Amino acid sequence: MKQLALDFASIPPPTLHNFVGGRNGELLQTLQRLAMIPGSERSVYVWGAPGSGRSHLLRGMLDAASAAGADAVYVACAAETCLADDLGGRDIVAIDDVQRLDARAQIALFNICNALREREGTLLASGDTPPAQLALRQDLVTRLGWGLVYQVHALSDEEKTQALKRQAAERGFTVADDVCAYLMTRAPRDMSSLLALLDGLDRYSLEVKRPVTVALVRELLQLVKRSGSRIED
């Protein structure tokens, strides 16, 4: 049982398939189309609060695009991120958390935007605010707002509960409201972590031949804690 707890402690990699859309249905459809038809959009900018799923969407879209044969690259920005000059020659470039770019990297991204536009490549970017509110150089802000702009809406607790119930039903079992509420107060609240825990509960329930209840959730979380593992990416 202890090994079972360890088995589900690693969260599956983000994909468009395992992103729970909620109010982001149109955005999800746009990224799915773009992954299958690179160049169908010149620029897509997504913004939202931490934990809303921005990084999941960018990484998932790049995974799907690469699987379809596109030359795609993902860059997670930090304070000292350097953007390579050759990025403008890719089919799809995803730049995550553009608000973190320093002055030099902002110039590089400005040039990448121009290069992608000239050769009909696609820029997929994310930030924590709408383009007009980014504290970046104005010419870069303008380019980030050239194409489609979407807010990524985090799921409400009710939407998370309904998503957990649907996912459980697809796996052949049910979870009650009190189980969902307990999960969201005792585990990380992002959907990737919650779904990883749901998978673990499914396997653990079958192993011990008991239904999924709050008591079973508590028991499994204690196993994970004693093993030294954490439910996180």
Tens of pLDDT, residues 192-227: 788 888 888 998 899 899 999 999 999 988 887 776
Tens of pLDDT, residues 131-170: 999 999 999 999 999 999 999 998 899 999 998 998 899 8
pLDDT class of 122 with cuts at 50, 70, 90: very high
CB 36 within 8 A of CB 69: no
Q: Tell me, what's the pLDDT at 233?
A: 35
User: Rounded mean pLDDT of 39-68?
Assistant: 94
DSSP 146-159: SSEEEE-PPPPHHH
Spell out a b/e string for 149-177, using b for 16 or more CB atoms within 10 Å of the CB, else e.
bbbbbbbeeebbbebbbebbeeeeeebee
Token code pair at residue 147: 């194409």
Residue spans in the chain of domains classed CATH 3.40.50.300: 22-151
Tens of pLDDT, residues 66-91: 999 999 999 999 988 999 989 999 99
Helix (H) or strand (E) holding 36: helix 25-36
User: Rounded mean pLDDT of 178-192?
Assistant: 87
Domain 22-151 has CATH 3.40.50.300: yes
The pTM (predicted TM-score) of the whole model is: 0.81
Question: Helical H runs in 72-213?
Answer: 103-118, 138-144, 157-171, 177-186, 191-208
CB 220 within 8 A of CB 17: no
3-class SS at 83?
A: coil
User: Rounded mean pLDDT of 106-116?
Assistant: 96
Q: Tell me, what's the pLDDT at 229?
A: 55
